[in-house]
């Protein structure tokens, strides 16, 4: 059972408060979408939840153990983190890039064991990259590279998947496919936490919304017109529900 708990997390840098007293809890089967305007602290929060950034105050725990108590290799096996705007300047094949997501599970020496080949094939197929398997990563389009990095995050089938703006740069079809893939991954008993600017995708697929504004929690629960107005200072209308939901920004 996976249970992630953040308690009164704050982050300060250079005298500036980036996160201020943010708490949340999430578990297996949850798809939590983090929303908020630029500079709200979304990426910083995701880095803290991934165990990559130590909070100035507050604690994050996984299954009752505070992050400092969890061996780094254990945490690397259990969670995958996909940052915003990742880069890769090495001329790797797409297949080898995706295989890097298995690093915490691989033996210290030798090549890629054959038993990992099915996992790589599944991740490539899930992200519509099977035909790009042998292509050099540096020749991919921006959207194709984003999908390759998502495949890298998925390949190890981590208990926790934390992704920062995963649909940025994707065309509409692949953006919808990506959000649906994340929802399906959560439905399979995993925990998914994703920052999203696309409110329609958040409304359609996320089980719960956590909204940030100026580094503080501005709301949590269902996505509503009132929450959007309070966080983004715009008027919006939510039409439909479930997979047919859409968010329209009003003039």
pTM above 0.95, yes or no: no
* φ/ψ of residue 170, rounded to 5: -90, 145
Q: With b meaning 16 or more CB within 10 Å and e meaning fewer, what string describes 121-140? A: eebbebbbbeebeeeebeeb
Domain layout of the chain by residue ranges: 3-88+160-249
Q: Crossing angle of helices 142-154/117-126, nearest 10°?
A: 140
Helices 142-154 and 172-187: crossing angle in degrees, nearest 10, is 10
Tell me the pLDDT of the chain (251 aa) as tens digits. Answer: 899 999 999 999 988 999 999 999 999 999 999 999 999 999 999 999 999 999 999 999 999 999 999 999 899 999 999 999 888 888 889 998 999 998 877 665 556 678 889 999 999 999 999 999 999 999 999 999 999 999 999 999 999 999 999 998 899 999 999 999 999 999 999 999 999 999 999 999 999 999 999 999 999 999 999 999 999 999 999 999 999 999 999 98
Say which residues have a Cβ less than 8 Å from residue 22's Cβ, sequence separation at least 6. Answer: 6, 8, 9, 10, 41, 45, 58, 212, 215, 216, 217
* Cα first-last separation, the chain: 45
Q: Which fold has domain 3-88+160-249?
A: Rossmann fold (3.40.50)
CB-CB contact of 18 with 9 (8 Å)? no
């Amino acid at each position: 059972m996976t249970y992630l708990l953040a308690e009164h997390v704050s982050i300060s840098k250079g005298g500036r408060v980036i996160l201020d007293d943010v708490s949340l809890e999430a578990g297996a089967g949850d798809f939590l979408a983090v929303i908020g305007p630029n500079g709200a602290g979304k990426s910083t929060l995701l880095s803290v939840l991934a165990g990559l950034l130590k909070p100035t105050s507050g604690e994050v725990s996984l299954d009752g153990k505070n992050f400092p108590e969890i061996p780094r290799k254990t945490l690397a096996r259990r969670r995958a983190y996909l940052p915003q705007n990742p880069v890769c300047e090495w001329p790797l094949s797409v297949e080898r890039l995706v295989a890097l997501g298995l690093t915490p599970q691989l033996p210290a020496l030798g090549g890629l064991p054959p038993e990992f080949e099915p996992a790589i094939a599944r991740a490539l197929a899930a992200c519509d990259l099977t035909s790009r398997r042998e292509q050099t990563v540096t020749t991919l389009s921006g959207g194709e590279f984003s999908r390759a990095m998502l495949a890298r995050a998925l390949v190890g089938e981590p208990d926790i998947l934390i992704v920062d703006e995963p649909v940025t740069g994707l065309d509409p079809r692949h953006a919808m496919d990506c959000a649906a893939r994340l929802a399906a991954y959560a439905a399979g008993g995993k925990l998914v936490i994703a920052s999203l600017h696309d409110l329609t995708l958040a409304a359609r697929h996320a089980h719960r919304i956590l909204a940030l504004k100026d580094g503080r929690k501005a709301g949590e629960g269902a996505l509503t017109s009132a929450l959007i107005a309070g966080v983004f200072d715009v008027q919006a209308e939510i039409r439909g529900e479930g997979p047919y939901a859409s968010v329209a920004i009003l003039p």
